[in-house]
């Protein structure tokens, strides 16, 4: 029983093992939290970043949006929605609902327009294309995501690895340097003893 307790003791673990364990907890917690957020918001994409200026001055490029799924009866004129479209697949589109037309079969067609755009969008949206309605925004936070999509993530990853494992690498190299110095001194002492 003592051996099991000793094996589970945190202070007997190497710094690398502790770091990897904490990293696993952070990553697991992040994905778990995001999964719960997805369930709460009712959509697979609860967070979206504005990537164009079509909604200025209401929303700006780089704003982070939280969206919530809604039934078509709960989407109103004036709501800002996020939708996907076949003609623009690069990222979801964020525009305002400016008109709703109910069809004879009971379905609704949503006509949208960007606040900064002169014309309405070319086609209507159906509920199947709508990811959700914007419920709150966090200004400028999404700029990090836009920056990283442009290749800026590589230096960030390198910096993260250096911060995470730098002390371990430094200690390892320092230990090897000390071992070499000790073995050189031992070798010289051995040579002096043999020559005497």
- Asked whether 42 and 132 are in contact (CB, 8 A), the reply is yes
State the Cα–Cα distance between residues 184 and 168, nearest whole angstrom.
24
Question: Which one from 14, 54, 115, 183 is the annotated catalytic residue?
Answer: 54
Question: Which one from 11, 52, 109, 121 is the annotated catalytic residue?
Answer: 121
State the Cα–Cα distance between residues 93 and 110, nearest whole angstrom.
14
Question: Which one from 45, 79, 85, 95 is the annotated catalytic residue?
Answer: 95
State the Cα–Cα distance between residues 113 and 126, nearest whole angstrom.
14
Angle at 54 between CA 48 and CA 58, to 5 degrees: 75
State the Cα–Cα distance between residues 63 and 82, nearest whole angstrom.
13
State the Cα–Cα distance between residues 90 and 86, nearest whole angstrom.
10
- Is residue 115 annotated as a catalytic residue, yes or no? no
- Is residue 54 annotated as a catalytic residue, yes or no? yes
- Is residue 95 annotated as a catalytic residue, yes or no? yes
Pair type for strands 80-85 and 108-113 = unpaired
DSSP string for residues in 94-134: EEEEEEEEE-TTS-EEEEEE-TT-SS--SS-B-TTTEEEEE
State the Cα–Cα distance between residues 193 and 196, nearest whole angstrom.
5
Just list the catalytic residues.
Answer: 54, 95, 121
């Amino acid at each position: 029983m003592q051996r099991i307790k000793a094996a589970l003791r945190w202070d007997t673990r190497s710094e690398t093992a502790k770091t990897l364990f904490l990293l696993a907890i952070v990553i697991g917690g992040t994905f778990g939290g995001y999964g719960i957020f997805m369930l709460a918001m009712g959509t697979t994409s609860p967070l979206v970043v504005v990537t164009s200026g079509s909604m200025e001055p209401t929303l700006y490029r780089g704003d982070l949006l939280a969206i919530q799924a809604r039934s078509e009866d709960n989407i109103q004129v004036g709501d800002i929605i996020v939708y996907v479209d076949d003609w623009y697949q690069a990222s979801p589109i964020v525009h305002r609902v400016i008109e709703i037309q109910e069809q004879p079969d009971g379905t609704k067609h949503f006509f949208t327009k960007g606040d900064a755009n002169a014309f309405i969008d070319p086609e209507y949206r159906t509920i199947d294309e709508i990811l959700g309605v914007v419920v709150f925004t966090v200004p400028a936070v999404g700029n990090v995501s836009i920056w990283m999509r442009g290749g800026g993530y590589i230096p960030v990853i390198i910096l993260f690895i250096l911060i995470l494992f730098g002390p371990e690498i430094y200690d390892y190299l320092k230990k090897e340097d000390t071992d070499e110095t000790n073995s050189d001194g031992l070798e010289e002492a051995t040579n002096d003893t043999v020559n005497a």
